[in-house]
Amino acid sequence: MNPNTLDKTALITLVGSPNSGKTTLFNYLSGRNVKTANYPGATVEYSVSKLLHKFNINANLLDSPGIVSLTPHSPDEEIAVRSLFSHPTFGSPDLLVVTVDASQLTRHLFLVRQLLECGFNVIIALTMTDLLNKKGYDISTEKLSSELKCDVIKIDGRNGNGITNLVEAINKNLKSLSAKDKVMPQPYSKGDDKQKLISTYSKIELISDKVIEQIPQNGKRINLEKANRQLAILNPDPQIKKNCYQVDQRTLKIDKILLHKVWGLVVFFLIMALTFTSIFWLAQPIMDLVSNAFGFLAAKALAILGYNWFGDFISTGLITGVGSVMVFVPQIMILFLILGLLEDTGYLARGAMLIDRPLSKIGLNGKSFVPMLSGFACAIPAMMAARTIPNKRERLLTIFIIPLLSCSARLPIYALLLAFLFPGEKAWIGGLVMAAIYIFSISNSVLIAAIINKLNKKIIRETDNSSFILELPAYRVPKLKVVTSNMISSAKAYLRKAGPVILILSIAIWFLTYFPNYNPTIPAQNHSQLEILHLKNSERLANSYAADMGKFIQPVMKPLGMDWRVGVSLIAAFTAREVFVSSLALIFKVTDQGETLQGSIVKAMKDAKIDGTGQKLFTPATTIGLIVFFLFALQCLSTVAVSRKETGGWRIPILQLLIFSSLAYVLTFITVNCLRAIGIA
């Protein structure tokens, strides 16, 4: 770096393996609260921030995706390694801070050796030293620094100890770099891969032997060698076996149950069932409060502004339209909370291991588990998380089936339809059915994947060799503050994504259902003012622009036992699935009727009749049919766009749209008519 560049903003890049504490360190240095997770693929995008002002260092801090070496094995790792040498926005880093898990020193030093060999300026941030200390060992930072010729600083991710020392080392290194020309790092030379790998690990072994020191514990020595023999070691090399300090005995004991070939699967399915059942019944009290609040606001707005177009616009178009989706935010937050807790404990990596064998039968492997599980929150980040799957065929197949998993956008729809089927005291049954819906969506995705896999190259044309190796992090007590913060951030992101779409479509649907402002005359006798209002709304709706549009789709909806009103709501849901609920609320002109907002929508659904026939529009058969429809239909244009980006073309997203939408319609038709045939009308 030349002297005339002293005032320029330096670039510090955080590098490290997944689960090495890299993102936690980023949060300490930047003051931000970026999501962290205990499995590969959580960081598929870069996070950039300035260092906290109190550190008095003019530098950008970049948190790169987790990598285990400079030899990439997936698109995610390839982008990370390429950007490490020359980031498209920030260029080459002035300094690398490499997080190294002290309890897995030998494996993590491999990346450090590669970075030093390429000529990077490196500082090692030694994490997880508390885990190593519990096993009766410690690392001499002075000896390690001497061996590697770079600064080594111990930090504690739980309380931030060592951060001050790390900042001092960063400041010292940047000042020393400013006194000389910047040396550009050279690409990593693989050489003879096998021989170079053996040579590098041999040197690392020698370094480990020098720097790892045993801590005396009242004259007792931990018998970790015996515990180590219980592990299935992929590489039987005695040189690797002797690193018995890497074994966590508590983790071993827990994994005897959670990774058991029978009990492990039992526990896994119990956890998944409990997770999605909790989403329904745990959120209900909060949902009632939100529902009551929006219902109260809608009724008051109508009373204050009057029973005219403006009062109806504010009450029905805005408050009810937005409130009918906001009422389900508690369920979405609970989903993110539970997933966050599972991530932070380290259990999700075990889930991937357990599910690897069954997934391998359908052309996938355990690495598909994380994107698939992310699909329960949102298909968009789930498809992006699939970048961590090295095998291209498995990556494309995972992306193909992700829309079949019930994302959080479907929650409002399922909750409303289940509230219709199981009202009041039967709500607990709705919770069990909700869990069954999620299990059914997993089964659907697995079945579709199996069919596509059998079709060989008809849909997914790639063929690659497959392998599955996954790091299992030690079990840890989740940090509630971090999990809660991530839950709130995820909920905010959901509202930012869905909120504007819902607001715009709510206004559009209100306009279509209110105008051309037909004002029928309703006899006042034997009718209250509220009843007259509802009768006027029904007449106005029947003569609205929405009714005219609905006549075009009525022939398509009739075989499903539904009419144009449901059809208009389904079309609106293509921009965002959640809009289906607000669309129904607007079409049925729902306002507070002495019940919760959700209760009012359910009441309107029960009272709705098909024009010209007098038959009920919503019956158990048609409602179950709608659940089936949303289980399969790809009603999210944003997902289609991301699928196109991640697959590199329009072929797969168009196939997804056509196959899943057609499947949804056909299966809904079969469901409704079969239920009617057996007497469930």
- How does the average pLDDT of the chain come out, rounded? 76
Q: Is residue 371 part of a domain?
A: no
- Tell me whether strands 47-50 and 59-63 are parallel, antiparallel or unpaired: antiparallel
pLDDT level of residue 225 (50, 70, 90 thresholds): very low
- The whole-angstrom distance between residue 230's C-alpha and the CA centroid of its chain comes to 34
Q: Which of 156, 29, 187 is nearest to 97 (CA)?
A: 29
Among 183, 212, 241, the domain boundary falls at 212
Confidence label for 351 from pLDDT (cuts 50, 70 and 90): confident
Whether residue 99 is found in the same domain as residue 203? yes
Same domain, 641 and 503: yes
In a domain, 220, yes or no: no
Cα-based torsion angle of the residue sequence 98, 336, 352, 83 in order, rounded to the nearest 10 degrees: -30
**Residue 383 to residues 114, 403, 644, Cα–Cα distance (Å):** 30, 9, 10
Interval 105-157: pLDDT, tens = 888 888 898 898 888 899 999 988 877 777 778 888 899 989 989 999 999 86
pLDDT tens for 375-403 read 777 787 678 767 767 777 888 888 898 89
Tell whether 251 is covered by a domain.
Answer: no
Do 96 and 150 form a contact (C-beta atoms < 8 A)?
no
Residue 418 lies in a domain: no
Whether the CB-CB separation of 607 and 616 falls below 8 Å is answered with no
Triad 27, 30, 34: Cα angle to 5°: 40
Percent of the chain with pLDDT over 70: 78
How far is residue 50 CA from its own chain's centroid?
26
**Closest by Cα among 211, 203, 283, 267 to 239:** 203
Does residue 467 lie within any of the structural domains?
Answer: no
* Amino acid at the residue 354: L
- Report how many domains make up the chain: 2
| pLDDT category of residue 667 using cuts at 50, 70 and 90 | very high
Geometric angle at alpha carbon 428, from 427 and 430, rounded to 5°: 65
Query: Over the stretch 538-591, which tens digit does the pLDDT of each residue have?
Result: 666 667 787 777 778 888 888 998 888 888 888 777 766 877 887 787 777 665
What are residue 99's DSSP bridge partners? 16, 125
DSSP, residue by residue, 489-536: HHHHHHHHHHHHHHHHHHHHHHHHHHTT--------TT--HHHHHHHH
Residue 346 located in a structural domain:
no
In a domain, 135, yes or no: yes
Distance CA 548, CA 564 (A): 9
**How many beta carbons lie within 10 A of that of residue 375, not counting itself?**
28
Query: Averaging pLDDT over each range in 42-56, 138-152, 254-268, 287-301, which range is the top one?
Result: 138-152
* pLDDT given at position 623: 93
Q: Is the dihedral of CA 167, 170, 174, 175 positive or negative?
A: positive
Give the domain-ending residue among 212, 236, 264: 212
Cross-strand bridge partners of residue 48: 62
CA separation, residue 12 to residues 26, 156, 174, 186, 432 (Å): 11, 20, 9, 18, 50
Are residue 178 and residue 312 in the same domain, yes or no? Answer: no
Q: Which of 491, 404, 400 is nearest to 439 (CA)?
A: 404
Residue 473 has pLDDT above 60, yes or no: yes
Instruction: Give, in degrees to the nearest 5, the angle at Cα 671 between 669 and 675.
Output: 120
Using DSSP, state whether 431 is helix, strand or coil: helix
| Cα-to-chain-centroid distance, residue 188 | 33
Return the half-sphere exposure (C-beta side, CA atoms, 13 A cut-off) of residue 398.
31
Full residue range of the structural domain in which residue 131 is found: 3-212
Q: How far apart are CA 449 and CA 369, in angstroms?
A: 13
pLDDT at 39: 41
Give the DSSP per-residue string, 266-315: HHHHHHHHHHHHHHHHTTHHHHHHHHHHHHHHHHHHHHHH-SSHHHHIII
Indicate if 73 and 191 belong to the same structural domain: yes
What is the distance in angstroms between the CA of the first residue and the CA of the last residue of the chain? 77
Query: What pLDDT, on the 0 to 100 scale, is given for residue 672?
Result: 94
Position 240 in a domain = no
Regarding whether 196 and 299 lie in a shared domain, the answer is no
Both 201 and 299 in a single domain?
Answer: no
The DSSP secondary-structure symbol of 158 reads T
Mean pLDDT across the stretch 57-82?
79
pLDDT, position 190? 62
Confidence category of residue 221, pLDDT binned at 50, 70, 90? very low
Sheet holding 47-50, edge to edge: 47-50, 59-63, 10-16, 95-101, 122-127, 151-154
Q: Can you give the pLDDT at residue 595?
A: 60
- Contacts of 476-485 spanning 24+ positions with Cβ under 8 A: 476/38, 476/344, 476/345, 476/346, 477/345, 478/340, 478/341, 478/344, 478/345, 479/158, 479/344, 482/33, 482/36, 482/344, 483/337, 483/340, 483/341, 483/344, 484/337, 485/33
Q: What gap in Å lies between CA 485 and CA 381, rounded to an integer? A: 18
Count of Cβ atoms closer than 10 Å to residue 613 Cβ: 9
User: Are residue 41 and residue 154 in the same domain, yes or no?
Assistant: yes
Q: To which H or E segment does residue 345 belong?
A: helix 329-345
Top-confidence range, 46-55, 217-226, 666-675? 666-675
Residue 609 pLDDT > 90, yes or no? Answer: no
Average pLDDT over residues 443-468: 69
- 172 with 301, same domain? no
Query: Is 305 found in the same domain as 208?
Result: no
pLDDT category at 664 given cuts 50, 70, 90 is very high
28 and 156 fall within a common domain: yes
Domain of 208, CATH number, reads 3.40.50.300
Max CA separation in the chain (angstroms): 97
- What are 16's strand-pairing partners? 99
pLDDT at residue 43, rounded to an integer = 43
Out of 180, 212, 244, a domain closes at: 212
Region 395-421: what's the mean pLDDT? 86
